Amino acid sequence: MNFIGFLFVLIGHFLSGRGTLAIFNIKLKPLVSFLVSMILGVALLSLVPFILQLFYIPITHSNIIIGIAVFCLLLNIPTLIRLKNGSITMPKLNFNIQLYEIPVLAVFILVMLVSVWRCFYYPPFARDMLSGPEAIAEYAVREHTMLNSIFSLNLESTNNHLKPPYVTDLQIIYKELVCPFGQVWLSIIAVCFLVWSFTLLREKLHPFVAGVLFLFFFTMPDPFAYTYIMLFDYSNMVFFFAGFYFLIQYMEKKEYNLFLFSVVMFAMATYIRPETLVLEGLILPLLFFYFRKEKVPGAKMLIRLAIFMIVPFFFYEIWMGVFVKYYMPIHFNVNDEINKNFGNLSPFFDRLGGMTKVLIFGISDNPGLKDINLRLYGYFIYLFLLILIIDLIFFRKKFTTEGKVALYGVLVVYIGLPFLGYLIPWVDLMNTTKRGLYKMFPLMLLYMRTSGVLQMLSDGLKKWELPAITGAKTPKPAVANNTVKPAATATNKKNKK
């Protein structure tokens, strides 16, 4: 392993992600800012070899280094200007971990150590990778181009070479600069995302309750396996969730920059898996009703709805409409892959039924599929349903905007995945849909942090643990407290709706 190369790439991830946060004027707590920067930076750096290829610049060791450096520099121009003006202060890290959080965190560290080691140690082995992105990346390193000898083969057994360049390009960077199997970028995404999830829970729930929820979350067997098996779905889940999260932040704080940043996150999710665009289309009704409620003028509303779809579509189009069409030495037409019989809705209902019965509730006549829901996702879905039902019965008045939007997101995935199966016949139940369901889970977690019953439990624990502090009546913050309230500058005022 090349540690200097790894350090360079890590810094590259952080700087590109942090620079983008600064461009959109996103203010987060230092730890969250670091985690989001790293997550975003992984996806952003993957654009470097792709851009080199678009301009037919050879993908060599030095060109990748220069590309990453230039990319980071460009994304950090606003930060450099602020640095010059002396308007940047060093963040103060405050971890404040309680004694009773240590057991859950110790288990988390143990589990993730195993994951990170396997991610580093094992060569890529998922068939979808070996027959596409990984093979292209391996020969790109040898031949300095993504349009390499892989395309001189008969590729009738696979369509994986048409998958977006996210994995291919990260593999190129990591094989060139870090280690022969690449892949460790997945650990960065997984660890940063899981830690971010835990901080989100802790912000609104008592750390003890947050720890129990987190335990159910990171021990979901199938998603855990994909923290070290390289595929698209884990990253797709992370960015889809981040899109929703910042959309919720926008709806609560009404700062336009948060809306734009959420669009960037959704765009990254589309860049990783193009069919995410369909799910994003299903978010439009939510936005429409929100804008109407906020009395946003018609033209402005239309522009925002257009931005919401056009930016992710750009990432879809640059790959499918430009690269696959004009660069790849093979013919591929997306329309050939789409269901032509739109009148027949039975595939949609069949898939919805199959997904609900088999994947969510584990009901199947096939003994091999019986209780498969537990083998895939553990008891996390049942925990969510239990909490939701209790909230619906006893805490109906406690539903927050965040909770409602998170539930809408769960519904988008629940309806959207069968719709994808209806639209694109190769989207099957036991692979694409099974892993597509991952996108629900962080949204379920986000809902649970706002849950009435868990809030009550948290308040009870806080009062019991710290009666002197919680005894005094303090006004509840009106908005989520995960983002740092920016000083009232002209820029921030401008960002307001």
Partner 1 sequence: MTFKKIILFVASCLIILIFFHTEFYGNWFETKIYRAWDSEIERETFDYQRTHLNPEQRKIDKLQETYTFSEQVAAYLKQMKAKNPLVLLPPQEYINEKGGNMIIPEPIVFYYHCGVKGAWYTSANVNQTNWAIIVQPPNGITPQQLAIIPIQNQPERDAIIAVYKHAVDSVKARQQANSPK
Residues with Cβ within 8 Å of residue 95, at least 6 apart in sequence: 31
What gap in Å lies between CA 271 and CA 199, rounded to an integer?
Answer: 27
Q: x/- contact string, 20-39, with partner 1 (CB under 8 A)?
A: --------------------
331 binds partner 1 (CB under 8 A): no
- Name the residue nearer to partner 1 (CB basis): 126 or 415: 126
Listed in sequence order, the DSSP H helices in 122-184 are 127-130, 133-143, 165-177
Q: Give the shortest CB-428-to-partner 1 separation in angstroms.
A: 18
- Name the residue nearer to partner 1 (CB basis): 60 or 131: 131
Span 440-459, contacts to partner 1 by CB under 8 A: none
109 binds partner 1 (CB under 8 A): no
| Residue range at the interface with partner 1 (CB under 8 A); choices 42-50, 103-111, 189-197, 288-296 | 103-111
Q: Give the shortest CB-220-to-partner 1 separation in angstroms.
A: 10
- Name the residue nearer to partner 1 (CB basis): 71 or 217: 217
- Name the residue nearer to partner 1 (CB basis): 342 or 426: 426
- Name the residue nearer to partner 1 (CB basis): 350 or 465: 465
Amino acid (one-letter) located at 318:
I
Q: What is the CA radius of gyration of the chain?
A: 23
Binding residues for partner 1, total number by CB under 8 A = 52
What gap in Å lies between CA 448 and CA 382, rounded to an integer?
Answer: 12
Listed in sequence order, the DSSP H helices in 379-480 are 380-394, 401-423, 434-436, 440-448, 452-465, 467-471
Q: x/- contact string, 460-479, with partner 1 (CB under 8 A)?
A: -x--xxx-------------
Query: Using the rule CB under 8 A, which residue among 9, 42, 43, 104 binds partner 1?
Result: 104
- Name the residue nearer to partner 1 (CB basis): 91 or 123: 123
CB atoms near residue 461 (< 10 Å): 16
What gap in Å lies between CA 314 and CA 268, rounded to an integer?
Answer: 11
Helix 440-448, helix 207-218: angle, nearest 10: 170
Nearest Cα to 229, choosing from 369, 371, 379, 435?
A: 435
CA dihedral 371, 373, 378, 381 (to 10 degrees): -130
Residue showing tokens 């971010």? 196
What gap in Å lies between CA 198 and CA 393, rounded to an integer?
Answer: 27
What gap in Å lies between CA 443 and CA 437, rounded to an integer?
Answer: 11
Query: Using the rule CB under 8 A, which residue among 58, 221, 321, 460 binds partner 1?
Result: 221
198 binds partner 1 (CB under 8 A): no
123 binds partner 1 (CB under 8 A): yes
User: Hey, is 496 helix, strand or coil?
Assistant: strand
What gap in Å lies between CA 18 and CA 420, rounded to an integer?
Answer: 34
181 binds partner 1 (CB under 8 A): yes
100 binds partner 1 (CB under 8 A): yes
378 binds partner 1 (CB under 8 A): yes
Query: Using the rule CB under 8 A, which residue among 44, 135, 213, 247 binds partner 1?
Result: 135
CB atoms near residue 121 (< 10 Å): 11
Query: Using the rule CB under 8 A, which residue among 157, 346, 366, 474 binds partner 1?
Result: 157
484 binds partner 1 (CB under 8 A): no
| Residue 304: C-alpha distances to residues 44, 488, 496 (Å) | 23, 24, 14
- Name the residue nearer to partner 1 (CB basis): 352 or 374: 374
Nearest Cα to 442, choosing from 483, 414, 406, 416?
A: 406
| Residue range at the interface with partner 1 (CB under 8 A); choices 13-21, 27-35, 62-70, 211-219 | 211-219
Element (H, E) at 247: helix 233-253
Residue showing tokens 């406690």? 398
| Residue 152: C-alpha distances to residues 163, 244, 486 (Å) | 17, 41, 55
- Name the residue nearer to partner 1 (CB basis): 349 or 379: 379
Query: Using the rule CB under 8 A, which residue among 161, 273, 435, 439 binds partner 1?
Result: 161
Residues 454/387, Cβ–Cβ less than 8 Å = yes
Q: Give the shortest CB-370-to-partner 1 separation in angstroms.
A: 14
99 binds partner 1 (CB under 8 A): yes
- Name the residue nearer to partner 1 (CB basis): 15 or 231: 231
- Name the residue nearer to partner 1 (CB basis): 23 or 215: 215
147 binds partner 1 (CB under 8 A): no
End-to-end CA distance of the chain: 48
Backbone angles phi, psi at 255, to 5 degrees: -105, 120
- Name the residue nearer to partner 1 (CB basis): 330 or 393: 330
Query: Using the rule CB under 8 A, which residue among 211, 223, 312, 416 binds partner 1?
Result: 211
111 binds partner 1 (CB under 8 A): yes
- Name the residue nearer to partner 1 (CB basis): 105 or 278: 105
- Name the residue nearer to partner 1 (CB basis): 155 or 423: 155
Residues 164/272, Cβ–Cβ less than 8 Å = yes
Which residues in this chain contact partner 1 in the complex, by CB under 8 A? 98-104, 107, 110-111, 114, 117-118, 121-123, 125, 127, 130-132, 134-135, 138-139, 149-150, 152-158, 161, 180-181, 208, 211-212, 215, 219, 221, 224-225, 374, 378-379, 461, 464-466
